[in-house]
Amino acid sequence: MIHNSIIDAIGNTPLVRLNKVTDGQPLTVAAKVEYLNPGQSIKDRIALKMIDDAEEKGLIKPGGTIIEGTSGNTGMGLALVAAVRGYKCIFTTTDKQSKEKVDLLRALGARVEVCPTNVEPDDPRSYYSVAQRLSEEIPNSYYPNQYDNLSNREAHYETTGPEIWEQTEGKVTHYVAGMGTGGTITGAAKYLKEQNPDVKVIGIDSVGSVYKKYFETGEFDKGEVKPYLTEGIGEDIIPKNVDRDLLDAVVQVGDKDAFQMTRRLAKEEGLFIGGSCGAAVYGALQYARENNLGENDLMVVILPDSGTRYTSKIYNDDWMREHGFLDE
């Protein structure tokens, strides 16, 4: 079979059993390896869906410009779609994102504006605000806004959820995913719970993010917001893609635990993945221990992206040592 373009290769990523990092826990833990998408992340799925829907609604015309705020991976997916469909791209990102992500976006022909991390979301310097302003200033541009664009979670309802159900032959008991824009966890959770309402959905959050308190109390508390280094999960806003009614638990994971698990997954399982993947696996195993999951449980954990984005950070001993993340 010959695909018509690279974007036809998006999706249908494999499930891979974790063998060593589970440290003898009796349940089956299967990782959905999303770095095997052509843009090396799960965000390829939403990039294609958001642009398909925008074209259908006439929100972007031929030769137009896609403008998006991204921690890197959604930008990569959008850049692939743009290359195939003839659009230009401008991305805003934050100064906490790895240099590799910025370089990769520029390699695909995108213009990248790097904005400060530690400002309020409505600050005119924030990457949300800069993307919004550019989309208003540039003619024939489209701002997908992955945070509030419900095509994001619809992509996972239509693809990720059904793939997990089919690949586990309907035996999945627990679904675990990091919470960033909220689309991955919400879209797949909705599909899986429609098939079996007993499937438990566990969101993984970063220490320093608002999601855990929001899930537990319904309150958006800015006081929860603190700096952290894990990229792609956790928020200082509540995106429209988040639906807390579909969640059964939220587990917070700190940077050190996330990054040490990331490196274990590479060295012990051969899975060269990013920091939010390590956070997801660490949080999943913590939940499994605390809830005494057994041999009849089948937990699927999303591994969103590739380690190629983090060679200068998580996979760099000097960087890890400088931040106190290495146990010598």
Q: Which amino acid is at 104?
A: L
Structure tokens at 107: 């390699």
Spatial contact of 273 and 266, defined as CB atoms under 8 Å apart: yes
Query: Is 43 considered catalytic here?
Result: yes
What is the C-alpha separation between 180 and 267, in angstroms, rounded?
26
Give which of 169, 314, 167, 304 is closest to 232, Cα–Cα.
Answer: 304
Tokens of 103: 């370089």
Instruction: Pick the catalytic residue from 20, 32, 43, 313.
Output: 43
Residue at token pair 């586990």: 168
From the number of C-beta atoms within 10 Å of its C-beta (0-12, 13-18, 19+), residue 29 rates as buried
CA distance 219 to 240: 15
Find out whether 270 and 227 touch, Cβ atoms under 8 Å.
no
d(CA 110, CA 91): 7
DSSP 234-259: --SS--TT--GGG-SEEEEE-HHHHH
Contact status, residue 149 vs residue 67, Cβ threshold 8 Å: no
Sign, CA torsion 143/146/147/152: positive
**Distance of alpha carbon 242 from alpha carbon 13, whole angstroms:** 24
Grouping H, G, I as helix, E, B as strand and the rest as coil, residue 201 is strand
Terminal-residue alpha carbon distance, the chain: 50
Please state the separation of Cα 145 from the chain's center in Å.
Answer: 15
Q: How far apart are CA 21 and CA 103, in angstroms?
A: 32
Catalytic residues, by residue number, are 43
